[in-house]
């Protein structure tokens, strides 16, 4: 266990340093985040004229939704899929196969590393801008549940992306398909609009897909109430459901990873 | 001479794409889905009983259709240079373009030519036809105004490409320029009237992203007088600025020795 | 230390089209093709040896290397290395080996090598004390004192390659695999790297390398395994490999008078440059050098002369060619 922590922190620290060389790229979020948010403010201000609530959300709650969703996006962001497919395609994956450590753990440690940098370069400044410039209420309803839920979102996004990256062991030249999938992932996660705006039938489907656990569910948990497809859950229930989803995805990822390794050691890709 | 050069590039690029037809197909699907995200949000808003005040759903979608159409024309020709500069400056291979006996800007533009982006014309047309079906057919003058302003729209996107590409001579290898583009242009995808009056002015005259879609769409809806054509000026000005900025950044890049 | 018996690896690959129609058709039925990468390889490598795999491109060298490092499963056959079956006990095994791939960097591009070293230290669980002393030894031996603190992207290819070696050897591996370790390097960097490999080998580290650079082989390897078409053609020491082709010398001459097309036992003319300059191969078991020089000098008059051992290139060429000749003969029959 102690060894594992040392490994994760060493890889994480190296990645942190690597990314720190590109702080300015990350800091672009200080411009992009607020500008995007400003657009949302105007859109919803107009849309809410004459409406108290839309699909169960008030105007203030809607702003909180977008504010929290973008913060969670910065916390959970990674491109594990891109990275992995690049390693496979360039043949560099072999250098990882030669280290006594499964690659997914390496990738997860990398994510922990660059997200800890993002925490103060991206997340914190944007959070402060949202609170003090836009006056958004970003008080979590229950901080404990919120933190837990965001942690699960962090893992969930990593595992989904990593699974997408693992497909590179079978489909070497399918970068386009992977990008389409990731875009659909964002739509189904509720990045662009809360999932409660989708037609009922769609909501029922979305409820059972893994994507709502990346953005929609943690954002709603942050706000204090969860509802999708007519299902209301208490915070404990919602986070519990998320935990189940995380375990199932972890299992899926393990199976897929092992299959990929079998393929790698069988064919050498 | 220029035609033949451009014709040659066009031919090779298309041949390249056809050699990887499945890749081309998927990449077009990707662009179409990407273009339909904002219209999807608009649709969902209207389906839940809300609206942008003073705009029907079809009218709002018309703006987004114009946006996609304009991208469909401007992106294949201009926007590719952003990616080209990003890659070449990062790899240090931009010098290859400087070695050609042609204007560098032209070289950057045509080597970045990207037929995939024509796929946006598909999503744009589908949306456009859908939007027009839900409203009274515009008259001839409206079409004429629209035509002129659409030209301004394409010009704007060309200018923006120059700014982003120029920025990349300094800000080496940052793919965040695409996010910055998306963020700023998203103002242009919605009815301008939802923004505050001062912001509307900024979006028309200072940072004319309103020109990309909102202003032409408004003309087509018969909501502008001929005075609205003054909007062509900022577009031209912006293009000029873009060219100046790009050349300045290029000089900075070459004199620094790469 | 490494024991390989009857190692065979065959792949099934499908032929995949890239047009839309082919891709769609291949979704339903994929034409399969069997490829024999290596066939029935057997050899052993004792501890402390320096072994080179040679062979033309696609001969099966990297497949062999990948199996020996536990990255690839063989189809049949056995491998025992350091007491492990590499692909079965991969995790324990790779902790005790190292690898350097000339074209696949392990370093992190934007930060100094020392940070990447530190990361590998944790991955391999190297204790701090041992890490420090190993790092000191290695940096001193390679003469890279300060550069390990500079960002990797600012280093020259030679400096980077030295750092790759440090990265691969921090955990004091017992076997080190090198895939084209000197590719693209200049003469001095090559010399440094080879010196490093020799001195590590002197400390008992086993090295197994693949290369196309025959100088690497001449200056490093004690033993050479030549693989062609997935099979071992030669497994011998370098000296024996040379003597296989007889006791031959290569001689370059400049003469006083024109030498006609001679047919003397033990002499082959390999090259003619102008009327007075020529290169010969002399089988000294047939025609001793002493006699050759005396007779040639008397008849034609020697102005200038250089005598060398047969360059390894011609040995290799002969080996590859012999294979090809045999094959075409087999194809005809």
pLDDT tens-digit readout, C242-290: 777 667 888 888 988 888 877 778 888 888 888 888 888 888 888 888 8
Q: What band does B258 get if pLDDT is binned at 50, 70 and 90?
A: very low
Q: Say if CB A69 and CB A123 are below 8 A apart.
A: no
Residue pair C235/C255 in contact by the 8 Å Cβ criterion: no
Residue C42 — φ and ψ, nearest 5°? -140, 130
Are C108 and A18 an interchain contact pair (Cβ–Cβ within 8 Å)? yes
Cα–Cα distance, C2 to C200 (Å, whole number): 18
**In three state form, how does the secondary structure of B110-125 look?**
HHCCCHHHHHHHHHHH
- Helical packing angle, B140-170 and B176-185, nearest 10°: 150
Tokens linked to C221: 């390897």
Residues C113 and C141 in one domain: yes
C18 and B21 within 8 Å at the Cβ level: the answer is yes
Give domain status of residue C319, yes or no.
no
The Cα–Cα gap between B74 and C70 comes to 52
Nearest chain A Cα to B188, which residue?
A39
Buried b (16+ CB within 10 A) or exposed e, A172-195: ebbbbbbbbbbbebebbbbbbbbb
Q: With CB atoms and an 8 Å threshold, state whether C111 touches A6.
A: no
Q: Tell me phi and psi for residue C271, to 5 degrees.
A: -160, 145
Nearest to C8 by CA among C55, C61, C86, C74: C74
| Residue C176 Cα, gap to closest chain B Cα (Å) | 32
With residue B26 as reference, give the H or E element that holds it.
Answer: helix B21-35
Q: Do the Cβ atoms of A93 and A267 come closer than 8 Å?
A: no
B47 and chain C in contact, CB less than 8 A: no
- Please enumerate in sequence order all residues whose Cβ is within 8 A of that of B79, keeping only pairs 6 or more positions apart, or say none: B71, B112, B114, B117, B157, B161
List the alpha helices (DSSP H) in B134-175: 140-170
CA B10 to chain centre: 19
Q: Average pLDDT in the B211-232 region?
A: 84
Note the pLDDT of residue C30: 61
Mutant choice from B22, B23, B26 vs A, greatest count of A C-beta within 10 A: B26
Average pLDDT, chain C: 85
Window 17-46 of B: residues touching C by CB (8 A cutoff) are 19-22, 25
Task: Please list every residue in chain C whose beta carbon sits closer than 8 Å to the beta carbon of residue B91.
Answer: none
**In chain B, which residue's Cα lies nearest the Cα of A186?**
B37
pLDDT in tens, B116-143: 888 888 889 999 999 999 888 888 888 9
At B125, list the tokens: 């047309």
What does the radius of gyration of chain A's CA atoms come to, in whole angstroms? 19
The pLDDT > 70 percentage for chain C reads 90
pLDDT band, residue C330 (cuts 50/70/90): low
Any chain B CB within 8 A of the CB of C110?
no
Whether C329 is covered by a domain: the verdict is: no
Q: What CATH number corresponds to the domain at position C252?
A: 3.30.70
Inter-chain CB proximity C71 and A18 less than 8 Å? no
Question: Domain containing C276: what range?
Answer: 246-309
Q: Helices A143-166 and A235-267 sit at what angle, rounded to 10 degrees? A: 20
Q: How far is A72 from chain B (nearest CA, A)?
A: 17
Residue that finishes a domain, picked among C219, C242, C265: C242
- Rounded Cα distance between A22 and A15, Å, is 11
Instruction: Please check whether residue C20 touches B, CB under 8 A.
Output: yes
* pLDDT bucket at B1, cuts 50 / 70 / 90: very low
What was the pLDDT predicted at C258?
A: 84
Q: What is the DSSP letter of B230?
A: G
- Residue among B256, B252, B188, B237 nearest B217 (CA): B188
Helix ranges, chain C (H): 20-28, 61-68, 90-94, 113-124, 128-142, 157-169, 187-202, 214-220, 238-244, 289-299, 312-332
Domain extent, residue A239, equals: 2-267
Q: Which residues of A touch C169 (CB under 8 A)?
A: none
Determine which of C20, C22, C153 to mutate to test the interface with B (most B C-beta atoms within 10 Å): C20
Please give, rounded to a whole number of angstroms, the shortest distance from the CA of A175 to a CA of chain C: 14
- CB-based contacts of B9: which residues, under 8 Å, 6+ apart? B110, B111, B113
Interface of B to A at Cβ within 8 Å reads 23, 26-27, 29-30, 33-34, 37-38, 40-41, 44-45, 47-53, 171, 174-176, 179-180, 182-184, 186-187, 190-191, 193-196, 199
- pLDDT at position C18 is 58
Write out the two tokens for C140. 């001193």
Asked if C34 reaches chain A (Cβ–Cβ under 8 Å), the answer is: no
Best mutation target, A22, A39, A62, A202, to test chain B (most B CBs within 10 A): A39
Q: Does A1 touch chain C (CB under 8 A)?
A: no
Strands, E assignment, C239-301: 248-255, 267-273, 277-283
How many other CB atoms are found less than 10 A from the CB of residue B224? Answer: 19
CA atoms within 13 A on the CB side of C234: 25
Q: If you average pLDDT over residues A227-255, what whole number do you get?
A: 95
Cross-chain residue pair B30–A176, CB shorter than 8 Å:
yes
> Mind telling me how many Å the CA of A74 is from chain C's nearest CA?
22
Mean pLDDT, range B140-152, rounded to an integer: 90
Please give the distance of CA C139 from its chain centroid, rounded to a whole number: 25
| B190 contacts A176? CB cut-off 8 A | no
Q: What is the mean pLDDT of residues A16-21?
A: 90
Answer whether B84's CB lies under 8 Å from B230's CB: no
A100 and chain C in contact, CB less than 8 A: yes
Q: Which residues of C touch A91 (CB under 8 A)?
A: 104
Q: Which has the minimum average pLDDT: A143-152, C74-83, C229-238, C313-322?
A: C313-322
Residue C320 lies in a domain: no
Instruction: Say whether residue A214 is in contact with chain C using an 8 A CB cutoff.
Output: no
Which candidate from A32, A54, A184 shows the least CB-CB separation from B183?
A: A32
Question: Of residues C205 and B9, which shows the higher confidence score?
Answer: C205
Q: Which residues of A touch B183 (CB under 8 A)?
A: 31-32, 35-36, 39
**Residues in chain C closer than 8 A to A264 (CB atoms):** 71
Question: Mapping DSSP to helix (H, G, I), strand (E, B) and coil, where does residue B228 land?
Answer: helix
For A124-136, the pLDDT digits (tens) are 999 999 999 999 9
How far apart (Å, rounded) are the C-alpha atoms in residues C322 and C320?
6
Residue recorded with tokens 């020697």? C302
> What's the pLDDT band for C46 if we cut at 50, 70, 90?
very high
Tokens 């497909």: give the residue: A167
pLDDT band at A215 (very low <50, low <70, confident <90, very high): very high
Q: What is residue A10's predicted lDDT score, i.e. its pLDDT?
A: 93
What percent of chain B lies above the pLDDT cut of 90? 43
- Rounded to an integer, what distance in angstroms lies between the CA atom of residue B128 and that of residue B134? 10
β-pairing verdict for C175-179 and C206-210? parallel
- β-pairing verdict for A53-54 and A57-58: antiparallel
In degrees, rounded to 5, the angle at the alpha carbon of residue B175 between the alpha carbons of residues B40 and B181 is 50
Same structural domain, C97 and C188: yes
Of residues B157 and C16, the one with the higher pLDDT is B157
Q: Which residue of A has its CA nearest to C67?
A: A265
CATH number at residue C121: 3.40.50.300
Nearest to C212 by CA among C54, C38, C37, C52: C54
Q: Are strands C50-54 and C206-210 parallel, antiparallel or unpaired?
A: parallel
Closest residue in chain C to residue B26, using alpha carbons only: C20
Residues of C in contact with A258 (CB under 8 A): none
In chain A, the number of structural domains is: 1
Chain A interface disruption, residue of B19, B38, B119, B179, most A CBs within 10 A = B179
Interface touch B40/A48, C-beta < 8 Å: no
Asked if C300 and C264 count as a contact pair (C-beta separation under 8 A), the reply is no
Taking the CA of residue C20 and the nearest CA in chain B, the distance in Å comes to 5
- pLDDT at position A269 is 53
CB A139 within 8 A of CB A222: no
Q: Residue C31 — pLDDT band, cuts 50, 70, 90?
A: low
| C217 alpha carbon, distance to own chain's centre | 6
Question: Please, are residues B219 and B146 in contact by the beta-carbon 8 Å criterion?
Answer: yes
Q: In what side-by-side order are the strands of the sheet with C2-14?
A: C32-45, C2-14, C76-81
CA-to-CA dists, residue A36 to A43, B181, B190, B210, B213, angstroms = 11, 11, 13, 15, 18
Number of structural domains (chain B) is 1
Q: Which of A225, A253, A251, A252 is nearest to A238 (CA)?
A: A225
Interface A-C: count of C-beta contacts within 8 A? 83
Q: Which of C11, C104, C119 sits opposite A11 (nearest CB)?
A: C119
Q: At what angle do helices A80-90 and A143-166 cross, to 10 degrees?
A: 20
Q: Which of residues 89-108 of C touch A (CB under 8 A)?
A: 91-92, 94-95, 97, 99, 101, 104-106, 108
Q: What is the pLDDT of residues A142-164, one digit of tens each?
A: 999 999 999 999 999 999 999 99
Chains with 3 or more CB pairs closer than 8 angstroms to A? B, C
- DSSP H or E stretch at residue A240: helix A235-267
- Distance of residue C146 Cα from the nearest chain A Cα, in angstroms: 19
Structural domain count, chain C: 2
Exposure pattern of C167-197 as b/e (b: 16+ CB <10 Å)? bbbbbbbebbbbbbbbbebeeebbebbbebb
Task: Please check whether residues C101 and C187 belong to one and the same domain.
Answer: yes
Query: Average pLDDT of C177-188?
Result: 88
| Cβ-defined contact of C104 to A91 (cutoff 8 Å) | yes
| HSE, side-chain direction, 13 A CA sphere, residue A68 | 30
DSSP H/E element including C77: strand C76-81
Q: Of A195, C154, C29, whose CA–CA distance to B40 is shortest?
A: A195
For residues A145 and A218, give the distance between their C-alpha atoms in angstroms, rounded to a whole number: 9
* Domain region containing B78: 2-255
Query: Is pLDDT at C78 greater than 90 in this prediction?
Result: yes
- Reduced to 3 states (helix: H, G, I; strand: E, B; else coil), residue C309 is strand
Q: Are B49 and A51 in contact (CB < 8 Å)? A: yes
Encoding tokens for residue C194?
A: 């080879």
- A268 at the C interface (CB within 8 A)? yes
CA distance C156 to chain B (A): 16
CA dist list (Å): C213 to A62, C186, C192, C194, C216: 66, 12, 15, 12, 5
Angle, in degrees to the nearest 10, between helices B232-255 and B104-111: 100
């Amino acid at each position: 266990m102690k060894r594992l922590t040392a490994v994760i922190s060493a890889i994480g620290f190296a990645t942190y340093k690597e990314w720190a060389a590109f702080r300015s790229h990350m800091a672009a979020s200080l411009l992009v985040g607020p500008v995007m948010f400003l657009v949302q403010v105007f859109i919803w201000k107009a849309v809410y004229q004459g409406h108290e609530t839309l699909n169960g959300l008030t105007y203030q709650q809607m702003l909180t939704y977008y504010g929290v969703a973008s913060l969670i996006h910065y916390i959970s962001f990674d491109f594990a899929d891109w990275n992995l497919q690049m390693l496979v395609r360039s043949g560099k994956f072999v250098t990882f196969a030669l280290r006594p450590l499964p690659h997914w753990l390496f990738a997860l440690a990398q994510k922990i590393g660059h997200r800890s940098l993002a925490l103060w370069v991206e997340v914190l400044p944007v959070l402060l801008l949202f609170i003090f410039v836009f006056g958004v209420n970003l008080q979590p309803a229950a901080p404990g549940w919120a933190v837990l839920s965001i942690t699960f979102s962090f893992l969930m996004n990593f595992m989904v992306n990593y699974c997408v990256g693992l497909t590179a062991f079978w489909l070497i030249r399918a970068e386009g398909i992977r990008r389409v999938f990731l875009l659909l992932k964002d739509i189904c996660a509720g990045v662009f609009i809360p999932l409660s705006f989708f037609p009922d039938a769609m909501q029922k489907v979305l409820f059972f897909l893994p994507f709502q656990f990346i953005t929609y569910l943690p954002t709603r948990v942050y706000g204090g109430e969860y509802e999708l497809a007519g299902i209301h859950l208490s915070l404990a229930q919602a986070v519990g459901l998320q935990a189940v989803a995380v375990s199932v995805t972890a299992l899926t990822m393990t199976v897929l990873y092992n299959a990929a390794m079998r393929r790698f050691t069988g064919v050498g890709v | 001479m220029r035609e033949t050069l451009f014709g040659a590039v066009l031919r090779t690029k298309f041949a390249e794409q056809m050699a990887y037809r499945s890749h081309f197909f998927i990449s077009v699907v990707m662009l179409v889905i990407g273009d339909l995200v904002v219209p999807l949000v608009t649709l969902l808003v209207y389906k839940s009983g809300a609206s942008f005040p003073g705009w029907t759903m079809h009218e709002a979608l018309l703006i987004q259709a114009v946006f996609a159409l304009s991208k469909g024309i401007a992106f294949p020709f201009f926007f590719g240079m952003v990616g080209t500069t990003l890659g070449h400056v990062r790899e240090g291979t931009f010098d290859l373009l400087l070695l050609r006996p042609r204007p560098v800007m032209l070289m950057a533009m045509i080597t970045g030519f990207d037929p995939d982006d024509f796929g946006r014309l598909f999503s744009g047309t589908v949306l456009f036809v859908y939007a027009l079906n839900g409203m009274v057919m515009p008259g001839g003058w409206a079409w004429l105004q629209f035509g002129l302003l659409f030209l301004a729209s394409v010009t704007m996107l060309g200018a923006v490409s120059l700014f982003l590409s120029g920025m990349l001579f300094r800000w080496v290898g940052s793919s965040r320029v695409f996010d910055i583009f998306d963020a700023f242009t998203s103002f242009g995808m919605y009815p301008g009237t939802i923004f505050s009056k001062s912001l509307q002015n900024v979006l028309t005259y200072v940072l004319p992203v309103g020109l990309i879609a909102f202003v032409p769409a408004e003309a087509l809806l018969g909501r502008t007088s001929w005075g609205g054509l003054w909007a062509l000026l900022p577009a031209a000005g912006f293009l000029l600025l873009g060219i100046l900025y790009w050349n300045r950044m290029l000089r900075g890049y070459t004199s620094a020795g790469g | 230390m490494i024991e390989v018996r009857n190692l065979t690896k065959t792949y099934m690959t499908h032929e995949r089209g890239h047009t839309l129609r082919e891709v769609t058709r291949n979704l339903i039925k994929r034409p399969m093709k069997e490829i024999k990468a290596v066939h029935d390889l057997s050899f052993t490598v004792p501890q402390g040896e320096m072994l080179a795999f040679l062979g033309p491109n696609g001969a099966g060298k990297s497949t062999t290397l990948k199996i020996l490092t536990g990255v690839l499963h063989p189809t049949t056959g056995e491998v025992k290395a350091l007491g492990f079956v590499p692909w079965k006990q991969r995790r324990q095994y790779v902790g005790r080996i190292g690898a350097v791939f000339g074209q696949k960097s392990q370093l992190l591009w934007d930060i100094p090598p020392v940070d990447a070293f530190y990361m590998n230290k944790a991955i391999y669980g190297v204790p701090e004390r041992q890490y420090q002393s190993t790092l000191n030894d290695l940096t001193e031996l390679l003469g890279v004192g300060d550069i390990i603190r500079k960002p990797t992207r600012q280093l020259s290819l030679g400096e980077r390659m030295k750092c790759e070696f440090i990265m691969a050897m921090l955990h004091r591996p017992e076997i080190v695999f090198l895939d084209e370790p000197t590719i693209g390097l200049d003469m001095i960097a090559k010399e440094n790297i080879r010196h490093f490999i020799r001195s590590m080998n002197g400390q008992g580290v086993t090295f197994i390398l693949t290369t196309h650079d025959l100088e690497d082989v001449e200056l490093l390897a004690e033993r050479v395994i030549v693989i062609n078409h997935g099979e071992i053609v030669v497994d011998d020491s370098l000296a024996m490999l040379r003597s296989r082709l007889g006791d031959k010398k290569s001689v370059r001459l400049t003469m006083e008078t024109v030498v006609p097309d001679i047919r003397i036992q033990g002499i082959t003319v390999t090259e003619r440059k102008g009327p007075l300059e020529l290169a010969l191969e002399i089988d000294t078991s047939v025609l001793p050098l002493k006699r050759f020089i005396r007779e040639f000098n008397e008849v034609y008059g020697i102005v200038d002369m250089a005598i060398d051992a047969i360059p390894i290139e011609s040995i290799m060429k002969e080996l590859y060619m012999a294979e090809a000749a045999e094959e075409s003969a087999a194809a005809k029959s």
